[in-house]
Amino acid sequence: TWVACATAVLQVNAEPVFVDVDPDTLVMTAATFEAAITPRTACVMPVHWHGQMVDMDAIVDIARRRGIRVLEDCAQAPGGLYRGGRHVGTMGDAGIFSLHN
């Protein structure tokens, strides 16, 4: 959603890998995430977008089974609630809320 996401990955000498999003929600899906996993995958950064929440239950489940860290990008969903009333940014290993101006 913003160059800073990929830049943060590059700053730790990692390589960002982009995945397709669902055309209806404009957020990544568990299927696109899982298809992109390689032996080098260390982290996933699901982006909640304009009130559309990523399926965090599925993403976190896949990540935990594979030993992958989850960093939620919540800049486009402050105050957002996920299933069961959980706040965005509380389901992965860390939640990031940032603005560029």
User: What pLDDT digit, counting tens, does each position of 41-55 carry?
Assistant: 999 999 998 888 999
Residue 68 lies in a domain: yes
Say what the pLDDT of residue 71 is.
95
Strands in 1-101 per DSSP E? 43-44, 69-73, 94-96
User: Within a domain: residue 101?
Assistant: no
Q: Which residues pair with 69 in a beta bridge?
A: 43
Give the structural domain span for 21: 3-96
Identify whether 86 is part of a domain: yes
- Of 59, 53, 48, nearest to 85 by C-alpha is 53
Domains identified in the chain, total number: 1
Supply the pTM of this predicted model: 0.89
- CA nearest neighbour of 47 among 80, 1, 82: 1
Q: What is the CA radius of gyration of the chain?
A: 13
In tens, the pLDDT along 1-38 reads 578 888 989 999 999 999 999 999 999 999 999 999 99
Distance between CA atoms of 73 and 94, rounded to whole angstroms?
9
- Whether 27 maps to a domain, the answer reads yes
